[in-house]
Amino acid sequence: MTPTGVFMQDVHPEWLAALKDILPKIEEIENSLRGTPFNPAPENVLRALRYPLNQTRVVIFGQDPYPNREHAMGLAFSVPASIFPLPGTLQNIFRELHEDVGVRIPASGDLSPWTAQGVLLLNRILTTHTGTSASHANLGWEDVTNKIADVLGKRKVIPIFWGNYAKQLQKYFPPDLWIESVHPSPLSAHRGFFGSKPFSKTNQLLTEQSRQAIDWSLT
């Protein structure tokens, strides 16, 4: 099908081809949300898929978008550079980033430099009602992210699973590539996110694949 609506307008052609069977579902979800307040903005719902599929080396799976409209930008865990203070979840990610690979804690919460290196930042559920977390579970996004995970798993993209929602997608990836922990939210980070070393483990796996490591510095 030819993509219609706002959600798919900036999706890279490689992704449109890979997801052709699920595009009607995305259109159905978009139509069901018309006239309702949701995050992120419609043009950013599939922002994670603007970069070429063939360049994707790593995927970080989260839960769903930030409920605060100013925070949600279509990339899992990322917020616009203008946001301060950073959400607690992102502060925890940056703390682990510093302790794991020694980079300076970034001042900006915009994770776009990672996406430019082939790191896909994807939530399990791609929208949420503004002001309410996890409100769009079972809206149909699970089918979409299942398909995305299936495509990535067949390409042996390295998956990072943060939280139980993310771990639902483990079946699509070879177990020897899994990098996993609890969600980095302030409610759970102390139960296994801190000290999990996801960034150095990812680069180790990339090196073993004879692929270039990720520069996690965000400078």
> Which domains are delineated in the chain?
13-208 (3.40.470.10)
The pLDDT tens digits for 114-124 are 999 999 999 99
110 belongs to the catalytic site: no
Strand partners for 19: none
Query: Measured between alpha carbons, how far is 193 from 140 in angstroms, rounded to an integer?
Result: 28
Please list the ranges in the chain whose pLDDT falls under 70: 1-4
Residue-level pLDDT at 3: 62
Residue-level pLDDT at 195: 97
Residue-level pLDDT at 133: 83
Residue-level pLDDT at 1: 54
Q: Which residues contact 204 (CB under 8 A, 6 or more apart)?
A: none
Among residues 64, 100, 176, 215, the one annotated as catalytic is 64
